[in-house]
Amino acid sequence: MSTIQVTNLTKRFGDMLAVSGVDLDVAAGEVLCLLGPSGCGKTTTLRMIAGLETTSDGEVRIAGKRVNEIAPSERDIAMVFQFYALYPSLTVAENLGFPLHHDKLPQAEIDNLVSEVARKLELTDVLHRLPGYLAEGEKQRVAVARAIIRDPNCFLFDEPLSRLDVELRQTMRGQIKEILDGLSKATVIVTHDQLEALTMADRIAVMRDGKIEQVASPHDIFTKPKNLFVAGFIGTPQMNLQEAVLTGFEGDKGTFQVADQTVAMAVDPAVQNLDSGSKVTLGIRPRAYDIIEEAAEDTFSAEVDLIEPMGAETLIHMMESGTDVRVVIDRTVRLEQGERVHMRCRPEQAHVFNTEGDRVFS
């Protein structure tokens, strides 16, 4: 079985703890995205799985076998590097055939496999070229082709699409996803681009400061962020995080004091376990608001500060007592700068975070 298991993986560089107690479990056919800001330890984690970096602590198992002491080439893993790492002095065909030499395949078989994989990734016309003469998209495809040619146990991708332009990125995203779907291997993709993670991953592991903050499906990561960091990191525009005070709980609605307005909102029932008067952070996504005509007990009002048209939608920045609230509305709704509007959060879209930054949920 093609699986990757990582337990308590830790990496120290001197006094610096780069990766701290990471646990991951990637099933066969599953794509796991390690997502996090720069320097959060995601690439180090990937390199430890690959064997390019020693582990300070913890264990890496590939296909059930402990591989900590095994050289990268013996781990039966293929890795696609951020800058492709094509071999500059070898032609595309030689690049593709390179991993096969290790397996001591006869040249005829190598040629067969090379032409097969080249056809799959539309590289047949550039096989004789040196990597320096390829377009960005072609380089990316060569890197992917070189990874899949050996039919390894698992795949590792380090920021695979970061160097492509927007259009190419979309095409490649689809192409990589398609290829991975057909292979049923365990795959780990490192990225700092949440769109990449949300579209390609079966599960996402959000990392910060060497630790995993949450592992969940793209849907759950978006709708049920475990803490303030995940909530703020996932989603564009960013989730609105407002300081508030819980003043009461009635039925399924909590009452909050937000910037000298009192708002009643349907929130998770676990919120009623919090003491009245406790400080919380309210997290509401910019697309979870409806603009309404009349003020009501469940509305929040604010003044339009800045209008940013984004095409199909319009992003409105609202100001209220010094806090910025971002709301995304349909482009057909017309608002004026300086106008005072009322907005209501849709049911089950308001998240409450306690003082530790963890989401309160049952």
Partner 1 sequence: MSVLMSLFSRKERRLREAGWGWTLFAGIISLIYFFPVLWIIMTAFKTRADALATPPVFFFTPTLDNFVAVFYRVAQTGSGEAIGTGMGGFFFNSIFVASAGVFLALIIGTLASYGFSRYPLKGNDTYLFVVLTTRMLPPIIVIIPIFLMFRMAGLSGSYIGVILLYAAFNLPFSIWMMKSFFDELSPDVEDSARMDGSSEFGVFFKMCIPQLKAGLAATAVFAVILTWNEFLFALLLTSTDTRTVPVAMARTIGGEIGVEWGLLAAIITLFLIPVFGVTYLLQNHLLRGVTFGTIKK
Give contact residues for partner 1 (rule: CB under 8 A): 47, 50-52, 71-73, 77-79, 81-89, 98-99, 101-103, 130-132, 134, 139, 146, 150
- Shortest reach from residue 168's CB to partner 1, in Å: 16
d(CA 57, CA 45): 12
- Beta-carbon count within 10 A of 125 CB: 10
Closer by beta carbon to partner 1, 81 or else 346: 81
Closer by beta carbon to partner 1, 63 or else 307: 63
> Chain-centre distance of CA 191, in angstroms?
6
Phi, psi (rounded to 5 degrees) for 271: -65, -30
- Shortest reach from residue 240's CB to partner 1, in Å: 38
- Shortest reach from residue 127's CB to partner 1, in Å: 16
- Shortest reach from residue 135's CB to partner 1, in Å: 12
d(CA 144, CA 149): 9
Would you mind telling me the total number of residues written for the chain in this entry? 362
Closer by beta carbon to partner 1, 154 or else 204: 154
Closer by beta carbon to partner 1, 96 or else 352: 96
- Shortest reach from residue 156's CB to partner 1, in Å: 9
CA atoms within 13 A on the CB side of 73: 6
| Alpha-helical runs (H) found in the chain | 42-50, 92-102, 107-120, 136-148, 166-181, 194-200, 218-223, 228-233
Closer by beta carbon to partner 1, 176 or else 198: 176
- Shortest reach from residue 149's CB to partner 1, in Å: 10
- Shortest reach from residue 84's CB to partner 1, in Å: 6
Query: Which regions of the chain does DSSP assign to beta strands (E)?
Result: 4-13, 16-26, 31-35, 57-62, 65-66, 77-80, 154-158, 186-191, 203-208, 211-216, 240-250, 253-258, 261-266, 279-284, 289-292, 299-309, 313-320, 323-330, 340-345, 350-353
Closer by beta carbon to partner 1, 130 or else 216: 130
- What Cα–Cα distance (Å) separates residue 44 from each residue in 10, 38, 50, 356? 10, 11, 10, 28
Closer by beta carbon to partner 1, 86 or else 212: 86
